[in-house]
């Protein structure tokens, strides 16, 4: 019975009406009064709470106050970093394109300062000389007899080879899957390379341009004596713009893709297969 009386009395209290008045302290004049039951007061407080939460949410969503909330500024900072990196990348790409066009203009106009190209790799020359010097007496006698017998032919051979010639190094190990063709406006060759293959400079020269391509690869241009070599579909760059490279020196890496190679002489494309032994 006691529990039931308590429940009935609590329900009656919630339904009983109360008067809330605002009185003047001196004259006790009733300026404002509100009559609410206990249940009405609970509903009114709930509505005020929901209204306050709604206004606070709108304040956060549509005002700069949200930037001061924990965690929100991290997203803004990350977005700013990404946008800054994108702007820097676009600026670097535009600068590289400008340098590329300047180099092409100078090459076509014949104003590009070229480097001195060695005829052969120095290490190859040293090794070749050592092998030629290390010969037995029998070998020396045979060479003397052969030179005496073929004196006239050897003299003609030496005269024919007195003109200087360039020794090109192949740009990469692999198989040519697409050849040079002026009719189809294909001014280079496509080389299928193995995984992580070194890309080497075909002659000694200076790297004048490195460009980032749309297909997530790089292209590189090396200036030689009246020659210009172009390498595309590169995955990793080893050298930088302005570096001086020797013939056969590694300049980049291609990772199991098709290396595109072009060779230009005095502004005219030449067939690489005619001067390079692939």
Among 64-78, 106-120, 121-135, the minimum mean pLDDT is found in: 121-135
- The β-bridge partners of 191 are 176, 259
Read off the tokens for 130.
């050592």
For residues 245, 248, 250, 254, the Cα torsion angle rounded to the nearest 10 degrees is 130
Q: Which long-range contacts (CB under 8 A, 24 or more apart) does 272-275 make?
A: 272/171, 272/180, 272/188, 272/189, 273/176, 273/179, 273/180, 273/189, 275/166, 275/168
Beta carbons within 8 Å of 134's beta carbon, 6+ residues apart? none
Q: Residue 37's pLDDT is what?
A: 73
pLDDT tens digits along 210-258: 988 888 889 999 998 889 999 999 988 888 899 999 988 889 989 877 8
Residue ranges, CATH 2.70.70.10, the chain: 168-274
Instruction: Give CA–CA dist 137/244, Å, rounded.
Output: 43
Q: Where are the beta strands (DSSP E) in the chain?
A: 17-23, 30-37, 175-178, 189-192, 197-200, 205-212, 218-223, 227-234, 236-237, 244-245, 250-254, 258-265, 268-270
The share of the chain scoring above pLDDT 70, in percent, equals: 69
pLDDT higher than threshold 60 for residue 80? yes
pLDDT at 231: 94
Pairwise CA distance, residues 122 & 118, whole Å:
8
The confidence score (pLDDT) of residue 58 equals 84
Structure tokens at 209: 């341009």
On average, the pLDDT of the chain sits at 76
Is the separation of the CB atoms in 238 and 254 below 8 Å? Answer: no
- Per-state percent for the chain, helix, strand, coil, to nearest 5: 45, 25, 30
Residue 207 has pLDDT above 90, yes or no: yes
Is the pLDDT confidence value at 206 over 50? yes
Please give the CATH topology (third level) of the domain spanning 168-274.
Glucose Permease (Domain IIA) (2.70.70)
Whole-angstrom distance between the N-terminal and C-terminal Cα of the chain?
106
Place of tokens 């080893």: 238
């Amino acid at each position: 019975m006691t529990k039931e009386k308590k429940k009935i009395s609590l329900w009656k209290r919630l339904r009983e009406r109360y008067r809330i008045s605002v009185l003047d302290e001196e004259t006790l004049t009733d300026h404002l009064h509100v009559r609410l039951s206990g249940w009405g007061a609970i509903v009114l407080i709930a509505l005020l709470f929901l209204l306050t939460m709604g206004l606070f949410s709108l304040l956060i969503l549509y005002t700069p106050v949200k930037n001061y909330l924990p965690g929100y500024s991290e997203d803004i900072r990350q977005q700013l970093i990404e946008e800054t990196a994108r702007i820097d990348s676009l600026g670097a790409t535009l600068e590289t394109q400008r340098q590329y066009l300047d180099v092409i203009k100078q090459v076509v106009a014949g104003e590009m300062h070229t480097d001195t190209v060695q005829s052969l790799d120095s290490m190859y020359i040293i090794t070749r000389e050592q092998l030629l010097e290390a010969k037995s007496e029998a070998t020396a006698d045979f060479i003397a007899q052969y030179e005496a017998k073929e004196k006239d032919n050897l003299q003609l051979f030496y005269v024919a080879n007195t003109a200087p010639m360039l020794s090109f190094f192949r740009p990469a190990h692999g198989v040519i899957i697409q050849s040079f063709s002026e009719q189809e406006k294909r001014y280079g060759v496509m080389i299928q390379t193995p995984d992580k293959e070194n890309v080497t400079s075909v002659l000694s020269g200076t790297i004048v341009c490195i460009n980032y391509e749309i297909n997530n690869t790089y292209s590189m241009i090396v200036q030689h004596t009246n020659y210009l070599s172009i390498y595309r579909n590169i995955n990793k760059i080893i050298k930088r713009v302005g570096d001086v490279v020797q013939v056969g020196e590694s300049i980049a890496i291609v990772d199991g893709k098709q290396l595109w190679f072009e060779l230009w002489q005095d502004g005219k494309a030449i067939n690489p297969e005619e001067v390079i032994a692939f």
